[in-house]
Amino acid sequence: MIEEATVDCYNDDEQHEGFLVTLEEHLRCPVRGLVVGEAVTVLRFDREPSSGIVAICRRGRRVFRINLTAVEWPGAPPPGAEWMEAYRAWLRGGGGSSTEGE
């Protein structure tokens, strides 16, 4: 999945963008989520140059941006959530360029 999201990406910034596009295509928003145990509605995803992909969430009247890795699911993950897991795995692997070793 990581290779699919980052195909034709040459650096970390492009790879983040690849994951953002893939998430937008596969994980339909709005969707229910949890942030620090509190119920939220994930409205959409965006990119923060300093922190990677963020989720735009709503809790009550408040709308906020939070790192995507802080979002959990209140039960069975929604369709497309496997792409979030692939993103998390990519982050744990250091986010190396897809062109390494060529």
* 2-38: pLDDT as tens digits: 888 888 888 888 899 999 999 999 999 999 999 999 9
Tally of domains within the chain: 1
Work out the pLDDT band at 100, boundaries 50, 70, 90: very low
pLDDT of residue 3: 82
Q: Distance between CA atoms of 92 and 85, rounded to whole angstroms? A: 11
pTM: 0.83
Q: Which of 10, 12, 9, 8 is nearest to 90 (CA)?
A: 12
* Residue 9 placed within a domain: yes
pLDDT reported for residue 99: 36
Question: Is 99 a member of any domain?
Answer: no
As given in the structure block, the two tokens for residue 26 are 């596969």
Q: Which amino acid is at 28?
A: R
Residue 47, in any domain of the structure: yes
pLDDT of residue 7: 85
Has residue 100 been placed in a domain? no
Range of the structural domain that residue 73 is part of? 2-92
- Give 64's strand partners: 57
